[in-house]
Amino acid sequence: MVENKAKETDDNTNWKAWYGFVILFFAIQVGFYAWLTEFFS
Amino acid sequence: MSGIDWAVLLGTLGLIVGYGTYMTRKSAGLEGYLKGGSDMKWLTIGLSVMATQASAITFISTPGLAYENGMEFIQNYFGLPIAILIVCVVFIPIYYRLKVYTAYEYLEQRFDVRIRLITASLFMLSRGLAAGITIYAPAIIISVMLGWSLELTILLVGILVIVYTVSGGTKAVSLTQKWQMTVILLGMGIAFGILLNRMPEEVSFLGALDLAGASGRMNVVDFSFDFSKRYTFWSGITGGLFLALSYFGTDQSQVQRYLSGKSIKESRLGLLFNALLKIPMQFMILLTGVLVFVFYQFEAHPVLFNKAAVQTAQESKYKAEFQDIENQHQQFHKEKKAAYLDYARQPTDAKKETLLALDKKAKSVRDQAREVVLKADPDQSSRDSDYVFLTFILNYLPQGLVGLLIAVIISAAMSSTAGEINALSSTTMVDFYQRFSKTEKSDTQSVNLSKWLTLGWGILAIIFALSAQLVENLIEAVNILGSVFYGTILGVFLTAFFLKKVGSRAVFTGIIVGQLTVFVLFYYEAVGYLWFNVIGCAIVMIVSYITSIFSSKPEQS
């Protein structure tokens, strides 16, 4: 097998903040879609 | 299509294919061919992951779905962001730590070679069939609407994909997908703008949404616990979660995209890009379909959009009956147009009730027309919604943009097919050939063999697409086939990650019991096929765990 050049080590990115942002953005979208459904029904 | 449209279409496709082939013309060894040199940035990975998932059917069928039933389909994607977070936290670190080329390599390290081969084979079976359909499904629609030969359309898409996927491997796939996705987003954005611009003067953007709502098309989210409904918030975040987790975590056509990252950070960011943007993208595609629905309340259109179906009815002994329905539809359209304009000028609850009743009647007229088509030819596809968006493109977009939108559809077909045949050849090479080959091959020989395998899978996809026309409802059949195996594959991976004491013998029992149960459910049509993913996965995990507890001999895992 040839050598895999990709770095396996992690970095100092704040992943918890990223994951929290993804969940928050998803929750905001669901709220917006619920509002759209209600408003235009 | 006009000469300008042809120039735009061939120019766009030629540039993308030429770019992908030229940029990857220098051989970079097997690591470069299978993993794209592991130097991809997050944006390329993100667009590549998005392009692999979004097939041509996404851009043809999804607006048609919204035209027919409104926005509810968006809920199917609600499990996706959560699934991607799980892949980022659990799957990616393991794949990177073990330096694997395919997801299935990990299973040999965790269990044994038998489990690796079973899951790799299940992937190859379902994805191999799907690659043919990815080419066939848009080709049949494009050929009907543009009068092209179906065989030539399949060959055009298939050969273009083979050219750059064989020549440049994973890197060519990712680089071309980036530009394909750019063309797709640009084309869809322009179509959306033109649609808004062509609405009657009385109808603003908000007015169009109001009309769509009054016709029951703004049903974006439904929190009810009604299991008879296909799409609800709850089915999205349960069934949709398992489907997305299986797809992003264990399907090599996706795993290969993010394993081409420069680092674990780039891979994660590429996936998070999809966690953030996939739902808004689907929302915009569905909204385009809803606006097409509003648009067609003011513009005359045939009772059925599928030209081949209309022709079948008109050339049959049911011609007079079909003509009656068509006349009824045209007469009814005038009544509908007046009612919609009236509501647009001054909306009231009473008028809304009228619109809902008119929409119900319009659906019933279309159903009658479909029945006549099926009487004339039981083999004729009665699915008309796939043709709605393409009819709008061909009839209302200016010259040049028609070519661009056809390029969008063909690009989407090419990008997902390329991801699939690239992943199929990698799995064949790494999980089968390299695993069992006793002769040592040089790097160049390995790359050449990978190229032959890619070519072989490409030709198989074309052959399957060419013979697909013999089978009715094949698209649905392949979707079901995917769900039949996905649950089991995901169950094996989740057992590997979370049930540390379970060994290979126990998981093998789990696979057999899980897969047989799904086969029985499939045979008796006991539940909707989306639930196969959840049930298959749960049974594999539970049976593996119980077997490992009662196993007399301790296993080496």
Torsion (CA) B323, B328, B334, B340 in degrees, nearest 10: -120
CA atoms within 13 A on the CB side of B66: 29
Are residues B233 and A30, on separate chains, in Cβ contact within 8 Å? yes
Would you state the pLDDT for residue B478? 64
Q: Which segments within B365-458 are labelled E, that is strand?
A: none
Please determine, for residue A11, whether its predicted confidence score (pLDDT) is greater than 80.
Answer: no
Q: What is the structure's pLDDT at B492? A: 95
Asked whether the beta carbons of B79 and A23 are under 8 A apart, the reply is no
CB contact under 8 Å between B81 and A26, yes or no, is yes
Q: Which of A2, A15, A25 sits opposite B29 (nearest CB)?
A: A2
Chain B contact probe: residue of A32, A33, A38 with most B CBs at under 10 A: A33
Where residue A1 falls among pLDDT bands split at 50, 70, 90? very low
Phi and psi of B219, rounded to 5°? -85, 65
The gap from C-alpha B484 to its chain's centroid, in whole angstroms, comes to: 17
pLDDT at res. B526: 73
DSSP bridge pairs for B40 = B261
> Which chain B residue shows the shortest CA-CA distance from A20?
B85
Q: DSSP letter string over B454-486?
A: HHHHHHHHHHHHHHGGGSTTHHHHHHHHHHHHH
Residue type (1 letter), B223: F
Q: Using the beta-carbon criterion (under 8 Å), do B265 and A2 form an inter-chain contact?
A: no
How many C-beta neighbours within 10 Å does residue B387 have? 25
| CB–CB contacts below 8 A, A to B | 98
pLDDT of residue B382: 58
Token couple for B535? 């049930």
* Among B31, B82, B264, beta carbon nearest to A10: B264
Torsion of CA B102, B104, B106, B112, to 10 degrees: -140
Average pLDDT, stretch A30-36?
95
Q: From chain B, pick out residues whose CB is under 8 angstroms from the CB of A11.
A: 263-265
Which residues, 6+ apart, have CB-to-CB distance to B254 below 8 Å? B49, B52, B53, B247, B248, B419
Print burial letters for B306-327: b (CB count within 10 Å at least 16), e (below 16): bebbbebbeebebeebbeebbe
Top residue of A14, A23, A26, A39 to mutate, by most chain B CBs within 10 Å, is A26
Residue A35 neighbours by CB distance under 10 Å: 12
Q: Which residue of A has its CA nearest to B264?
A: A8
Q: What is the C-alpha to C-alpha distance for residues B502 and B467, in angstroms, rounded to an integer?
A: 43
Cα–Cα dist B450/B168, whole Å: 11
Burial of B205 (0-12, 13-18, 19+ CB in 10 A): exposed
Q: Does the pLDDT of residue A3 top 50, yes or no?
A: no
Interchain contact A3–B (C-beta under 8 A): yes
Residues in chain B: 557
- What angle, rounded to 10 degrees, do the helices at B474-498 and B113-146 form? 150
* Residue B471 CB neighbour total at 10 angstroms: 10
Report the SS3 class of residue B95.
Answer: helix
Is A26 at the interface with chain B, CB within 8 A? yes
**Option in A6, A19, A40 nearest B209 (CB):** A40
Q: Tell me if B221 sits within 8 A of A33, measured CB to CB.
A: yes
What residue type is B410 in one-letter code? I
Q: In this complex, do A34 and B213 lie within 8 Å of one another by their Cβ atoms?
A: no
Q: What is the pLDDT of residue B557?
A: 45
Residue B173, classified by CB atoms within 10 Å of its CB into exposed (0-12), middle (13-18) or buried (19+), is buried
Which 8-state DSSP code applies to residue A3? P
Local structure of residue B511 (DSSP, 8 states):
H
B2 Cα to chain A: minimum distance (Å): 40
Q: What is the structure's pLDDT at B502?
A: 92
How do residues B338-377 score in pLDDT, each as one tens digit?
A: 888 888 888 888 888 888 888 888 888 888 998 898 888 8
Given an 8 Å threshold on Cβ–Cβ distance, is B218 in contact with A36?
yes
- Rounded Cα gap, residues A20 and A25, in angstroms: 9
Q: Which residues of B touch A4 (CB under 8 A)?
A: 31, 35, 38, 99, 101
Structure tokens at B390: 């393409």
Judging contacts by C-beta atoms under 8 Å, the chain B residues touching residue A3 are 31
Which tokens in the block code for residue B461? 């996809």
Residue B518 CA to residue B325 CA, distance in Å, equals: 43
Lookup: tokens for B479: 């979707």
pLDDT at position B489: 93
Sites in chain B below the pLDDT cut of 50: 472, 557
What secondary structure does DSSP assign to B257-294, as a single string? HHTTBSBHHHHHHHHHHHHHHHHHHHHHHHHHHHHHHH
Contacts of B137 (CB under 8 A, 6+ apart): B55, B56, B57, B475
Query: Residue B282: what pLDDT?
Result: 92
Q: At what angle do helices B205-214 and B349-376 cross, to 10 degrees?
A: 70
* Residue B410 confidence (pLDDT): 86
Q: Nearest CB to A37: which of B88, B220, B262?
A: B220
* Chain B touched by A35 (CB under 8 Å): no
Looking at residue B477, its pLDDT comes to 63
Of B368, B283, B309, B295, which Cα lies nearest the Cα of B75?
B283
Q: B263 pairs with which residues across the strands?
A: A7
Structure tokens at B83: 């699934």
Q: Return the closest-CA partner of residue B450 out of B28, B122, B53, B160.
A: B28
Using DSSP's 3-state secondary structure scheme, residue B40 falls into strand
Average pLDDT over residues A16-29: 95
Residues in chain A within 8 Å Cβ distance of B283: 29, 33
How far apart are the C-alpha atoms of B3 and B440, rounded to whole Å?
A: 53
